[in-house]
Amino acid sequence: MKTFFLMMALSIAFSPSLVAQKKAKKAKKGAVKTVKYRRSSLHTLLIGTDDFPRKETVIKAYNEAPFPDKYNNHTISEKLFNPNDYTVTEADREAAGLKKDSKLGALAKGAVSTATAGIVDENAADMPIIIDKYLKDKKIANKLVAKWFNRQEDGSFDMDLIGERGQYNASEMEANIAKGSARGVTSLKDAGVELINNTFLVVTKLKFVSNEVVAAAIKEAALIAAGKIALPPARLAAEKAAEEAYKKGKEGYSVWTTAYLYQLKWNDEIEATFYNDLWMNSATVDPAKKAAFDNSDLFELEFIGEEKATSLVTFSLKEKRTEEQIVSLATVRNIDAVYAKLQKKYDVFKTKTPLATAQPTITALIGKKEGLVGGEQFEVLEQSIDKKTGLTVYKSKGKITVEKDKVWDNRHNAGEGGAETDLKATTFKGGKKYYPGILIRQIK
């Protein structure tokens, strides 16, 4: 048995990702063109909404936007859902810890909703509840797990995708499951922690609104507040400020994006139940196990949090792009912005990126698309194997800082219709002992 666990640990230690990093370490002066490293996996889902201006253009831009390249594409068939299909009750709200609006809050929300002709989402607070109902109804967590194990129509699984993404020996892993030795096997445990547990879902809601409508609503609310000021000079000043704010804010349109982040739950108990009770390969197909997986409530998606982003859209006669291109570009960049916010706010969703070069200049292939402006700090991480557990660990080797004025503009369609730049990567400062391929992760 000791020999067995030693062999499993060695299979991880000599996996392509670690070997690639060791080779990169030896070649400090050169740049590693391609470094294999374990990424988090992502599925994206769009909330179907009511009609709004240029909806077709906005939705088309979302569907055609490049998939976030720092994540494995873990897309399943479910890509769009209608929140109106699900009803939220007071019992649902109480169970979720949400309280009814106060009378003042309800009145204020009603006034703003009337003024904005329904642009403001009155059900925003209920959306996580609605999404949760949808996820359970459609068994989205089960489908994400099924994709990890390449589930076939007959219900059988294999380890091919896990082997590919984690650089494991898939055949060896399947053989050990067949032997009944799944629990405690180092590579299976490592795959659960490194891969399956880092599976995410981002549910996105998009809106394209006229700034004039929103500005008018804000102006109306400000004038109501100003009317309650007793002193005439102060009241006039407040009314003037409201008018000026309206004039500045009414031009153009805005893209509104709200993104809800979820993480697939995967722990020792779930792992053991799956391998012991639900696993089967093509040689051991069992209709009862297939039905058990289909109906299982073992798998869940945990709500992590949400973020919002807004992009201003204006149409100028000097602009070389068409109005449709302008709206599309703003939509894609706004989606990138909300992803960057999620990554900065929630550590679990942060990505790792390998250094492209290390000497004489430290660079990495991230930039403005990830929200960098200069001055951000990154932790430098070296991937290795824990000798006691045999699991993958990341040891901190120091910190580096993004150099201002040397941030790569890797946003969608950067350089088209604007200033060109020679930057092809973002430059960092702060270390001399690093090497191409070593990983970095942003610090809050």
Asked if 116 and 249 touch (Cβ cutoff 8 Å), the reply is no
The confidence score (pLDDT) of residue 6 equals 40
The confidence score (pLDDT) of residue 386 equals 87
Looking at the DSSP assignment, which residues form a beta bridge with residue 428?
362, 402
> What does the DSSP 8-state code read for residue 349?
G
Chunked into runs of 10 residues, the chain (444 residues) has average pLDDT values of 39 47 52 70 91 87 91 94 92 81 41 46 84 97 98 96 86 76 68 91 90 77 87 87 77 87 96 95 96 98 96 71 86 93 95 92 94 95 88 92 94 63 89 90 88
Asked if 36 and 167 touch (Cβ cutoff 8 Å), the reply is yes
CA distances from 252 to 57, 211, 245, 322 (A): 16, 6, 14, 15
* The pairing of beta strand 199-210 with beta strand 253-264: antiparallel
The confidence score (pLDDT) of residue 407 equals 96
The confidence score (pLDDT) of residue 207 equals 87
Separation of alpha carbons 31 and 362, rounded Å: 10
The confidence score (pLDDT) of residue 160 equals 93
| CB atoms inside a 10 Å sphere around CB 394 | 14
Looking at the DSSP assignment, which residues form a beta bridge with residue 47?
81
The confidence score (pLDDT) of residue 26 equals 54
Residues 6+ apart with CB under 8 A from 406: 374, 423, 426, 427
DSSP notation for 139-193: THHHHHHHHHTT--TTS---SHHHHHHHT--HHHHHHHHHTT--TT-HHHHHHHH
Separation of alpha carbons 376 and 362, rounded Å: 14
Residues 6+ apart with CB under 8 A from 398: 379, 380, 430, 431, 433, 434
> What does the DSSP 8-state code read for residue 277?
I
pTM for this predicted structure: 0.81
The confidence score (pLDDT) of residue 272 equals 92
